[in-house]
């Protein structure tokens, strides 16, 4: 029974039952429909204009959803879902939203047919567990089998729907090199790829194909003064998080001066304090000083005389990465326990050299040969800001995917292959169950087919025919023992045919698929559980006081 009522004891509107469920599902469908057309190698881009007129042109699901101001609480769950996928895997944000919305739509139909949401939820949970198990055991292929090309191919697959898809050969190699450049082994002996160490710099001019990889960490600022050396080697780097301006009195501190000559002394002392701080830095052996705040112009001469490079207004996160890469400690104050100001040389970081280079019209400080972990910088070139931003987003996705492929070492065939295989498998599984979950699992299996369907529709191909062919192949693969190899059949969206996507090099990390299924199911279940919505009315009486 559905009704909307103003209950006398609640100051607000209450909706319950089927109404709410339908509303929630509609809201989620609306969000999914926005990103639907951007899925796949022929997906289209979205142009978002915000309230102050800034334009963003993008194909990245997470970015689109982050910029939409979503009002509806259930639809917000999908936006958070895309962000989670972006954080955990880095790619697959569009797919996860589309699957979640489809699961919801089908669940809603089941509820209308008098199946209790609890049965659907337990069916979905079971289907999710079985699907993840099946991906790991049957569909996943070890990377060793496919060789180094598999890394390049997974990067290409990730980029295929993006603006740089046309140059994916060039960029995929760039990405794989960049990720391998930051390879490190941690204390436990595990090989990790901290992709935070890859700094992406955007410089106007030239064409996208003129982008390149630099070994070393690049800072998007120049030296603070022209008199400083262009190059320092070996570099000992101090990372500061405070002002090297003339020290001023704290707010609210008053100094009453009776003798005007004393005033000059106070001024002098203020200048000297900064000088002493700089001398402490230089005495500790620092010849490169990075600070997030400002450096006084008159203080710069001390660095120039000492032949050191000082850089001001460094971004906080850049400072953190440099500190991590060089083994430096970011210092926010010189004060020690005794109230004296000291700077110990153990706080310095080390690098082989620090040089200033010109890229396009900007000066860039390069930190090369860092001590602890190696760092890499991708210098992107492109015609305009929109293009550079979109390249940045596309590369972030591709870099994340390569990292996941390297760390998990398993991939699955892309282009709707994994989804079609799971769909066929779950459908067969559903028929073996005699319980109420059977219907939910069958619907779950249907929902997964939304990915190949949308891929085909976006490519302007006949979705019904292609998906039917795809399912036929996967059915054969799972029923006949000698046709196992057919399990990697997926869509070729350029030609509009079905092909073996493992051989064609359309691959994604298995982990990405597993996470998509898990997250989408969790989100669908969260929204499915809701059967009552109470919107409270703002209490006016409190505001009047």
The number of folded domains in the chain is 1
- Across the chain, what does the average pLDDT equal? 82
- The answer to whether position 276 is within a domain reads yes
pLDDT of residue 98: 92
Comparing CA positions, the residue from 493, 512, 393 lying closest to residue 59 is 393
- The answer to whether position 507 is within a domain reads no
What's the CA gap between 91 and 111, in Å, rounded?
32
- The answer to whether position 27 is within a domain reads no
Provide, rounded to the nearest whole percent, the portion of the chain with pLDDT above 90.
9
pLDDT of residue 173: 87
Q: Who's near 373: CB < 8 A, 6+ residues apart?
A: 182, 184, 194, 197, 324, 325
pLDDT digits (tens, 9 = 90+) for 13-67: 888 778 888 888 898 898 889 888 888 887 788 898 888 888 888 888 888 888 8
- Lowest-pLDDT choice from 164-168, 246-250, 351-355, 486-490: 246-250
pLDDT for residue 2 is more than 60:
no
Q: How confident is the model at residue 100 (pLDDT cuts 50, 70, 90)?
A: very high
- The answer to whether position 446 is within a domain reads no
- The answer to whether position 351 is within a domain reads yes
What's the CA gap between 106 and 520, in Å, rounded?
13
pLDDT of residue 176: 86
pLDDT for residue 4 is more than 60:
no
Q: How confident is the model at residue 167 (pLDDT cuts 50, 70, 90)?
A: confident
What's the CA gap between 42 and 45, in Å, rounded?
10
Q: How confident is the model at residue 101 (pLDDT cuts 50, 70, 90)?
A: very high
Nearest 5°: CA angle at 193, between 189 and 199? 145
- The answer to whether position 401 is within a domain reads no
Q: How confident is the model at residue 303 (pLDDT cuts 50, 70, 90)?
A: confident
pLDDT for residue 207 is more than 70:
yes
Domain that holds residue 269: 217-373
Residue whose tokens read 């890394």: 151
List the CATH number of the domain containing 300.
3.50.7.10
Q: How confident is the model at residue 370 (pLDDT cuts 50, 70, 90)?
A: confident
Tokens of 45: 């881009």
Side-chain-facing half-sphere of 101: CA atoms under 13 Å: 26
* 3-class secondary-structure state, position 389: helix
- The answer to whether position 225 is within a domain reads yes
pLDDT for residue 542 is more than 70:
no
- The answer to whether position 283 is within a domain reads yes
pLDDT digits (tens, 9 = 90+) for 408-464: 888 888 888 888 999 999 998 888 887 778 889 999 999 999 999 998 888 888 889
Nearest 5°: CA angle at 500, between 495 and 501? 80
Comparing CA positions, the residue from 470, 527, 468 lying closest to residue 501 is 470
What's the CA gap between 490 and 499, in Å, rounded?
6
pLDDT of residue 280: 81
- The burial of 499, by beta-carbon neighbours within 10 Å (0-12 exposed, 13-18 middle, 19 or more buried), is given as middle
pLDDT of residue 518: 92
What's the CA gap between 286 and 486, in Å, rounded?
62
List active site positions. 60, 93-94, 397
pTM for the complete prediction?
0.81
């Amino acid at each position: 029974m559905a009704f909307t009522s103003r209950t006398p004891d609640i100051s607000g509107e209450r909706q319950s039952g089927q109404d709410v469920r339908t509303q929630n599902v509609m809201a989620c469908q609306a969000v999914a429909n926005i990103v639907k057309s951007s899925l796949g190698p022929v997906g289209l881009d979205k142009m978002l204009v915000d309230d102050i007129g800034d334009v963003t042109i993008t194909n990245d699901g997470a970015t689109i959803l982050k910029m939409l101001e979503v009002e509806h609480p259930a639809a917000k769950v999908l936006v958070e879902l895309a962000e989670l996928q972006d954080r955990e895997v880095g790619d697959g944000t569009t797919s996860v939203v589309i699957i979640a919305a489809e699961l919801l739509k089908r669940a809603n139909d089941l509820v209308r047919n008098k199946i209790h949401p609890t049965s659907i939820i337990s069916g979905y949970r079971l289907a999710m567990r079985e699907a993840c198990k099946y991906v790991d055991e049957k569909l996943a292929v070890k990377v060793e089998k496919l060789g180094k090309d598999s890394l390049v191919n997974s990067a290409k697959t990730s980029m295929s729907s993006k603006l740089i898809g046309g140059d994916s050969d060039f960029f995929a190699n760039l990405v794989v090199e960049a990720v391998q450049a930051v390879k490190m082994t941690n204390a436990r002996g595990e090989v990790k790829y901290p992709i935070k160490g890859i700094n992406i710099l955007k410089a106007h001019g030239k064409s996208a194909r003129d982008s390149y990889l630099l070994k070393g960490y690049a800072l998007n600022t120049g030296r603070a003064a022209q008199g400083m050396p262009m190059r320092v080697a070996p570099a000992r780097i101090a990372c500061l998080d405070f002002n090297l301006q003339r020290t001023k009195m704290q707010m609210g501190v008053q100094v009453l001066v009776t003798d005007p000559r004393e005033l000059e002394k106070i001024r002098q002392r203020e200048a000297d304090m900064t000088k002493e701080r700089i001398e402490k830095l230089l005495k500790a052996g620092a010849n490169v000083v990075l600070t997030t705040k400002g450096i006084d112009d008159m203080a710069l001469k001390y660095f120039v005389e000492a032949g050191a490079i000082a850089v001001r207004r460094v971004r906080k996160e850049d400072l953190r990465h440099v500190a991590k890469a060089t083994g430096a400690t970011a210092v926010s104050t010189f004060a020690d326990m005794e109230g004296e100001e000291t700077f110990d040389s153990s706080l310095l970081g080390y690098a082989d050299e620090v040089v200033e280079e010109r890229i396009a019209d900007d000066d860039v400080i390069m930190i090369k040969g860092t001590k602890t972990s190696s760092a890499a910088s991708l210098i992107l070139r492109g015609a305009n800001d929109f293009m550079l931003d979109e390249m940045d987003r596309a590369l972030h996705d591709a870099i994340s995917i390569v990292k996941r492929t390297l760390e998990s070492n398993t991939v699955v065939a892309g282009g709707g292959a994994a989804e079609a295989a799971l769909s066929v498998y779950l459908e067969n599984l559903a028929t073996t169950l005699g319980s109420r979950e059977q219907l939910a699992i069958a619907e779950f299996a249907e929902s997964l087919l939304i990915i190949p369907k949308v891929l085909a529709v976006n490519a302007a191909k006949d979705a019904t025919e292609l998906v039917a062919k795809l399912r036929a192949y996967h059915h054969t693969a799972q029923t006949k023992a000698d046709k196992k190899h057919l399990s990697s059949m997926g869509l070729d969206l350029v030609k509009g045919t079905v092909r073996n996507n493992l051989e064609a090099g359309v691959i994604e990390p298995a982990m990405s698929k597993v996470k998509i299924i898990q997250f989408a199911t969790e989100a669908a279940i969260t929204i499915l559980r809701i059967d009552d919505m109470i919107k409270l009315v703002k209490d006016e009486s409190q505001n009047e006081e």
